[in-house]
Amino acid sequence: MVKLSHQQPNLHYIDERIFLLKITVLLICLPSILVLYGWLCESRILAWLFPSGISMKANSAFCFILSSIALVLFLTRRPLAMMVQRILSLILISMGLITAYQYISGTDLPYVDSLLVQNQLVQNDPDNQLFSNRMSPLSAINFILNGLSIFLLTFRNYHILNLARIITIPVILTAIMVLIGYAYGVRELYRFGFYVPLSPLSAIAFIELSVALIFIHAERGFMRLFVGQTLGSKMVRWLLPTLILVFITIGWLCRQGNLMHWYNNQFEVSMLIFLTLFLSSCLIIWQARAQHGQELLRQRAQHALELNNINLEKKVERRTQELKKLMEELEALSLTDSLTGLANRRAFEQRLKMEWQRATRYEHPLTVMLIDVDHFKRFNDDFGHQTGDHVLAQVGAILQQAVRTTDLACRYGGEEFVIILPDTPMDDALPIAHRIREQVADHRWEARQVTVSVGVAQLNQHKTPNQLVSDADQALYEAKAAGRNQVIYLN
Ligand SMILES: Nc1nc2c(ncn2[C@@H]2O[C@H](COP(=O)(O)OP(=O)(O)OP(=O)(O)O)[C@@H](O)[C@H]2O)c(=O)[nH]1
């Protein structure tokens, strides 16, 4: 069994529906109480509330009062209310079944039709008829159906809810038929054979009761269509009652004209067809206009949405490109030394690892040289850090110029630099090292002459890139020890 979920529909609509339910209960209950009171006090005026010559029977009035109570109890969710509703619905079903049994078997069970009132009013009734104190067979069937519907609605289950609604539809249809019968004077529509006819007041009460039952928990099941906020919901809410009322009224007016001998039958039918065509066309055009407007709005909204999507996609694409560029810049920044503009130690380590792998795999020569500024501490102490920074930047520029594009000059840290020379044997690397040393020494320095010491090492049987750097460092150490401004290589 599917349990109903507790949705939160529009509260404004809920308030409106609670109000309508209360009004409906009053509309069913008040006339029924008056009719029942009329029967009990033998007041023909009250019992014959509707001036048609056919009264709502006392049992029917009683059943309608019970139905109203059951209806109003749908406003509370207490288990006790649910129990009372089930008991009331069972009474309604029983009343209907017992009456139907009496009609079918032709018997007159004691204390059933005379349960609430004796027959005095009926006996005085000029239109007296067989079983005239008994509710009509149609009422009996309708009370069975409505009682069943109330009983099922107390279960609040999705499938049962729809079933409860479906069984009230025949009640509405037959009651409308009865009203049409009264309006147009078609006896066969409200009275079957010699049976007791259904009174117009009962027909109205059945319509009110059944419509109210159909709208219980309307936000669930197929009745959602009637209480929704869509154009379809608004259409069905207005169009359906309008259609029923308008066409019944047109028919009635045409009929009355004929009865008053303003025109004959042919004219009545022609008028009816003309007015029906005219009004149906008006209704269709009115609704088509509303739908057309809605469709245009929808198309415009869709177009705007598509444009928005295209703009959004362009924006995302632009932002992605910007982000990509930013990432590349960040990546470059993270690999660059800010003072000299050379690659930093991180970039050096990445590249050395790569070149070392390539060189060992293809047995290519690979040389690394470490360059250190001589007595830089003293330089800093004498001329200050800022001048020292300037010297480092200039040494960096000299190194960058001295190497090929396939080589990589990096700032190793502090005043120490390193150059990776791929595919370069020691014989080719040494002239470069000497050139660098000379260029630094020959440079026109502002403060004082600056020199560098260079240690060179070539890849040999080194197991790791670190060992190669360590060899270059050893050579550099020896260059320092040999008096600085020297190039020393380690084989
Ligand atoms: N201006 C400046 N100085 C730095 C920077 N990085 C390191 N130094 C300085 O470089 C000096 C390096 O000194 P040491 O390692 O003793 O070596 P040195 O004085 O060059 O002597 P040798 O290398 O033996 O010739 C230290 O005083 C550091 O403060 C930097 O980015 N800018």
Q: What is the pLDDT of residue 6?
A: 45
Domain boundary among 185, 212, 229: 229
388 touches ligand 1 (CB under 6 Å): yes
Note whether residue 357 is domain-resident: yes
372 touches ligand 1 (CB under 6 Å): yes
374 touches ligand 1 (CB under 6 Å): yes
Give the Cα-Cα-Cα angle 463, 467, 473 (nearest 5 degrees).
Answer: 160
Alpha-carbon distance 449 to 379, whole Å?
A: 10
Q: Report, as an integer, the average pLDDT of 345-370.
A: 94
Residue 165 shares a structural domain with residue 22 = yes
Note whether residue 377 is domain-resident: yes
Alpha-carbon distance 121 to 134, whole Å?
A: 13
Q: What is the pLDDT of residue 5?
A: 43
Note whether residue 267 is domain-resident: no
The candidate with the shortest Cα–Cα distance to 376, out of 224, 252, 480, 235, is: 480
Alpha-carbon distance 216 to 161, whole Å?
A: 9
Residue 44 shares a structural domain with residue 178 = yes
For the CA of 392, the closest atom of ligand 1 is: 32
User: pLDDT band at residue 3, thresholds of 50, 70 and 90?
Assistant: very low
Count how many domains the chain has: 2
For residue 325, give both structure tokens. Answer: 């560029």
Residue 1 has pLDDT above 50, yes or no: no
**Helices then strands, each counted (H, E), the chain:** 18, 5
Residue 44 shares a structural domain with residue 185 = yes
Q: What is the pLDDT of residues 268-295, one digit of tens each?
A: 889 889 998 998 899 889 888 988 998 9
Q: Report, as an integer, the average pLDDT of 325-337.
A: 94
Q: What is the pLDDT of residue 237?
A: 84
Q: Check if the beta carbon of residue 216 is closer than 8 Å to that of residue 226.
A: no
Q: What is the pLDDT of residue 290?
A: 87
ipTM: 0.95
392 touches ligand 1 (CB under 6 Å): yes
Between 314 and 287, whose confidence is greater?
314
The candidate with the shortest Cα–Cα distance to 451, out of 474, 483, 489, 427, is: 483
DSSP, residue by residue, 183-214? HHT-HHHH--TTSPPPPHHHHHHHHHHHHHHH
Residue 85 has pLDDT above 80, yes or no: yes
Rounded to the nearest whole angstrom, what is the distance from the C-alpha of residue 410 to the centroid of ligand 1?
16
Q: What is the pLDDT of residue 391?
A: 96
156 touches ligand 1 (CB under 6 Å): no
Domain boundary among 176, 208, 229: 229
Q: What is the pLDDT of residue 185?
A: 80
Q: What is the pLDDT of residue 225?
A: 84
Mean pLDDT, the chain, as a whole number? Answer: 88
Counting Cα atoms < 13 Å in the Cβ hemisphere of 147 gives 22
The candidate with the shortest Cα–Cα distance to 34, out of 53, 55, 52, 16, is: 55
Note whether residue 5 is domain-resident: no
Domain boundary among 210, 229, 248: 229
Note whether residue 87 is domain-resident: yes
Residue 225 shares a structural domain with residue 349 = no
Note whether residue 221 is domain-resident: yes
Residue 463 has pLDDT above 90, yes or no: no
Alpha-carbon distance 173 to 291, whole Å?
A: 29
Rounded to the nearest whole angstrom, what is the distance from the C-alpha of residue 329 to the centroid of ligand 1?
30
415 touches ligand 1 (CB under 6 Å): yes
Rounded to the nearest whole angstrom, what is the distance from the C-alpha of residue 440 to the centroid of ligand 1?
16
Q: What is the pLDDT of residue 422?
A: 96
H helices within 384-454, ranges in order?
Answer: 385-402, 426-442
CA distances from 230 to 196, 233, 340 (A): 44, 5, 70
User: pLDDT band at residue 11, thresholds of 50, 70 and 90?
Assistant: low
Between 18 and 111, whose confidence is greater?
18
Note whether residue 293 is domain-resident: no
Residue 94 has pLDDT above 90, yes or no: yes
Note whether residue 297 is domain-resident: no
Rounded to the nearest whole angstrom, what is the distance from the C-alpha of residue 470 to the centroid of ligand 1?
19
Least reliable range by pLDDT among 11-25, 329-343, 415-429 = 11-25
Residue 440 has pLDDT above 80, yes or no: yes
Rounded to the nearest whole angstrom, what is the distance from the C-alpha of residue 377 to the centroid of ligand 1?
5
Q: What is the pLDDT of residues 376-431, one digit of tens each?
A: 999 999 999 999 999 999 999 999 999 999 999 999 999 999 999 999 999 999 99
Residue 92 shares a structural domain with residue 224 = yes
For ligand 1, atom 31, the nearest C-alpha belongs to 414
Q: What is the pLDDT of residues 178-236, one digit of tens each?
A: 988 888 888 888 876 666 788 889 999 999 999 999 999 888 877 888 888 888 888 88
Residue 38 has pLDDT above 50, yes or no: yes
For residue 198, the enclosing domain spans 11-229
Least reliable range by pLDDT among 188-192, 206-210, 263-267, 303-307 = 188-192
pTM for the structure as a whole? 0.58
- For residue 376, the domain's CATH number is 3.30.70.270
Q: What is the pLDDT of residues 111-162, one digit of tens each?
A: 777 777 765 555 445 554 444 678 889 999 999 999 999 999 998 777 888 8
303 touches ligand 1 (CB under 6 Å): no
